[in-house]
Structure 1
């Protein structure tokens, strides 16, 4: 809790989560249109398992049933959007159970989880089922994502990446659909530009400077290379919908700027110099773990304290 004064608001957790759910619908609809029925099945499995796990756990533990706050819906939907459409349905169910039971409920429920539950579950699935989680089928053909092509030095079509006609996870492919949802959240006052703006700006600077060292054929601040990195992978989905999670991001304004810059640097490091072409999930989780430290060093001093002598 931040220091006083506090301002009471009529906005509730259920209102916020409902708005986030609505904002995720464009990316969800495009993912189903792009990848077919298998994407819809995956989204249903992850969302249903998340909601059902929360209900059963709270029922068994004799706690207040909180599934009507939509937080489990958001977690399940985000997990589904971070899954390949080609992954088996039971993997989505397992991920939904892990996200709610292990990452959320065992640490106290909504407001107490130490990392984003959806990303925690995705990383768990990536470690446990690497092959299925990194296999992408598009138009009946199994192939690498544009980021993997970019990392290997191949050319990519940035316009296709912007529109979303590319292989990838269900919700990360269309930048346009993601931005539409993000604009809705901004207009409704659910998020602001501080975290995603700092994240994206820092990432652009990092890729612009160090992209040449990872790929000598790329010049400093190469527009096409930077655009491809911005449109590829889970950067946009992570920046607007997961890095801005209230529970796992700093509450201080300066802390949010530090947090966003850290996300940009880590994502750039993982993408350019790591073994994988992606890095958003691990960047956000590591930054989540550092939030208490970030808040400690950026907490405003109480009025009248700490003045110069």
Structure 2
């Protein structure tokens, strides 16, 4: 009896909560409820951490060169398109980069921003293929906690963004992320093209630096809100989440940078050998 009462209250709270959602996005794919995406994310985590490695344990790695080329090129082009749409729907067309509120009207520009937010949300599911390809190619060292956490938390949190606040200052980090992805997936594209393109990959170390700059900018931009005297942003909780997200990923990427480059684990072999020699001489 007590369980039934608790369940009924939970359903009522859920219904009341959804009344605050943006009615414009309610009928879009995956937007009706957070449960379908939760199932997809759970299946992704289970596959890349448990099922996939077990299936590949006694198999040879898949050779996915052509698939990787097409995939990375597609992500670059899709990211460029989303950059354009974010700019045209607000960030280069009326936004102040300070207290930019969500426009819930049915104007063409407001709907364009909402749709771009959904496109960005959906792109996070496409990017889960990064990890799937790592598993199929038996690149287990690439399936780190940072990698899986990033690909899991982004679509989950962005469902709430698209459903409740598709626009305004809470979308600045999405614009930045699309810019970073153009650079990052261009690198992956060159890498997938083969050894003769290795000479163009000297800037790998700087990709992590670009990621760090991204999270500093995200944190600085969203941090303005907490010092504004009058900024009636409709769902401030999202700004707290974005600020926390920026700080968490800044710390995680700093940790990654330290172990990958400062300690030399991802430096070229010549530099790794030099560092080892210096340690022996100390």
- Provide the TM-score with structure 2 as the length reference: 0.33
Structure possessing the higher relative contact order (Cα contacts under 8 Å, 6 or more residues apart): 2
Q: TM-score, normalised by structure 1?
A: 0.31
